[in-house]
Amino acid sequence: MEDLGHLKYFLGLEVARSKSGFYVCQRKYALDIISETGLLGAKPADFPMEQNHKLARADGKEMVDGEKYRRLVGRLIYLAVTRPDLAYSVHILSQFMQAPKEEHWDAALRVVRYLKKCPGQGILLRSDSALQLEGWCDSDWASCPLTRSSLTGWFVMLGLSPVSWKTKKQHTVPRSSAKAEYRSKAALNM
């Protein structure tokens, strides 16, 4: 077995090591996505998704090539490994893999335009952090217009470094916002 030195690139993850810690990002991967979608010349978006979007009720024309949508969303899912800011958008977009519509494709392209603004954004695993685990969670109440399911989101940090995050629909429909919040807290404790 031979020593290959410090890790710099592995499975699309770029790792930079310094005195302040490890910086992990997927800059090259993000730039590949931007290039593949043909948005190198597009104007960057300030946010990955429009506020108060109505994607669940989209009734436009179904995409001719759904495979293109599935490939893009799959790549965004992998990119979210180092980008907590994409968790919500990727969660929403991944719900329409079966039969994506043109509105869903446009929303996915907006996420790509958001990537243009900061393709090298990632996470810093700080070397000077205390080894204290902290977590935050939140939920809404019955936000899905189709199933009335609530949406849960949680974020965990080890010291000053993000280590885990997720956005997902709750499996059961809560009868109150308190139950939705309780289930969100329970999901964080798992």
Domain tally, the chain: 2
Residues 23 and 74 grouped into a single domain: yes
**Residue 190 pLDDT grade (very low, low, confident, very high; cuts 50, 70, 90):** low
DSSP symbols for the chain: -----S--EETTEEEEEETTEEEEE-HHHHHHHHHHTT-TTSPPPSSSS-TT--GGG--SPBPS-HHHHHHHHHHHHHHTTS-GGGHHHHHHHGGGSSS-BHHHHHHHHHHHHHHHH-TT-EEEEETT----EEEEEEE-SS--TTT---EEEEEEEETTEEEEEEEEE-SS--SSHHHHHHHHHHHHT-
Residues 113 and 138 grouped into a single domain: no
Residues 113 and 135 grouped into a single domain: no
pLDDT tens, residue by residue, 64-118 = 889 999 999 999 999 999 999 999 999 999 999 999 999 999 999 999 999 999 9
Residues 165 and 100 grouped into a single domain: no
Residues 134 and 121 grouped into a single domain: no
Domain boundary among 99, 128, 157: 128
Residues 97 and 113 grouped into a single domain: yes
Which domain, by its residues, includes 151? Answer: 129-190
**Residue 47 pLDDT grade (very low, low, confident, very high; cuts 50, 70, 90):** very high
**Residue 178 pLDDT grade (very low, low, confident, very high; cuts 50, 70, 90):** confident
**Residue 184 pLDDT grade (very low, low, confident, very high; cuts 50, 70, 90):** confident
pLDDT tens, residue by residue, 123-169 = 999 999 888 999 998 888 877 777 778 888 889 999 989 999 988 88
Residues 101 and 153 grouped into a single domain: no
Residues 53 and 114 grouped into a single domain: yes
Distance (Å, whole) CA 91 – CA 70:
13
Structure tokens given for 170: 């709750």
Segment 51-63 mean pLDDT: 81
Residues 44 and 76 grouped into a single domain: yes
